[in-house]
Amino acid sequence: MTSLPAVPLTIEGASVLHQMMRVKWPAWRALPSSDRDSIVSEAAAVLGRDRSAMYSLLGHKGDLMFVHFRDSFEQLHQAELAISKLRLTDFLETTTSYLSVVELGLYESTQKVYNSLAERGIEPFSEAWNAEIEETLRRQREAMKVRLWPDIPEARYICFYPMDRRRGEQKNWYQESMIDRTQMMHEHGMIGRRYAGEVRQIITGSIGFDDWEWGVDLFAEDPLVFKKLIYEMRFDEVSAVYALFGTFYVGLRLRAPELSALLGI
The CA-CA-CA angle for residues 198, 54, 65, to 5°, reads 95
Contact status, residue 250 vs residue 159, Cβ threshold 8 Å: yes
Closest CA relative to residue 255, chosen from 47, 70, 61: 47
Burial category of 24 from C-beta neighbours within 10 Å (exposed 0-12, middle 13-18, buried 19 and up): middle
State the DSSP H helix or E strand holding residue 203, giving kind and residue range, or none if neither: strand 199-205
Closest CA relative to residue 85, chosen from 53, 51, 39: 39
Query: Active-site positions?
Result: 161
Helix/strand/coil for 149: coil
